[in-house]
């Protein structure tokens, strides 16, 4: 398991009663995470070597802890197409944020938004509405 030794100012969160994806198996094991770095820490090394105990314990009630998914080509989701400008363009950013929140619920933690072939004006408008910088030179 990855390791980061916390400093004395780090807060440690202990996830207990959970199943971890390790290799090809689900293993019942607690998981300790540094809140300062977001990295997994070796619980025994920190407990015995650094005399650190968790600041917070969260009971996951048997849920699975697994790495997030990265979608490397996403044209849209939940009825929202990144390439289509809504009738009220001011709603584009709000809808995009809603899509982001819903994607998290499916396990997708990161994605590369892709635009289907469109007129060049659409690329500039989407870039402006989503607050993404898109450089297209003709």
- The per-residue pLDDT for range 8-48, each reduced to its tens digit, is 567 899 999 999 988 889 999 999 999 888 889 988 888 88
DSSP 17-47: S-EEEETTEEEE--EEEETTT--EE-HHIII
The yes-or-no verdict on residue 50 having pLDDT over 60 is: yes
pTM value is 0.58
pLDDT band at 102 (very low <50, low <70, confident <90, very high): very high
pLDDT value at residue 1: 45
Contacting residues for 19 by C-beta, under 8 A, at least 6 apart: 26, 27, 28, 29, 62, 63, 64, 65
Do both 50 and 77 map to the same domain? no
Whether 79 contacts 34, CB under 8 Å: no
What does the pLDDT look like over 51-90, one tens digit per residue?
A: 888 999 999 999 999 888 999 999 889 999 888 887 888 8
Do both 24 and 51 map to the same domain? yes
Do both 60 and 76 map to the same domain? no
Two structure tokens written together for 85: 């400008």
pLDDT value at residue 17: 96
Do both 44 and 73 map to the same domain? no
Please state, in angstroms and rounded to a whole number, the distance separating the CA atoms of residues 3 and 15: 16
Output phi, psi for 40, to 5 deg: -70, 135
Please give the residue range of the domain that contains residue 107: 69-129
Two structure tokens written together for 22: 């390790």
pLDDT value at residue 128: 62
Is 76 a member of any domain? yes
pLDDT value at residue 90: 81
């Amino acid at each position: 398991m990855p390791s980061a030794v916390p400093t004395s100012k780090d807060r440690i969160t202990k996830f207990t009663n959970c199943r971890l994806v390790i290799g090809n198996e689900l293993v019942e094991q607690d998981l300790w995470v540094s809140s300062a770095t977001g990295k997994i820490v070796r619980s025994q090394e920190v407990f015995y070597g650094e005399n650190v105990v968790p600041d917070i314990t969260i009971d996951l009630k048997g849920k699975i802890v697994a790495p997030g998914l990265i979608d490397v080509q996403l044209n849209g989701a939940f009825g929202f197409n990144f390439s289509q400008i809504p009738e009220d363009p001011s709603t584009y950013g709000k809808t995009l944020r809603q899509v982001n929140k819903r994607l998290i619920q499916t396990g997708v933690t990161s994605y590369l938004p892709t635009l289907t072939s469109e007129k060049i004006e659409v690329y500039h408008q989407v870039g402006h509405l989503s607050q993404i910088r898109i450089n297209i030179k003709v």
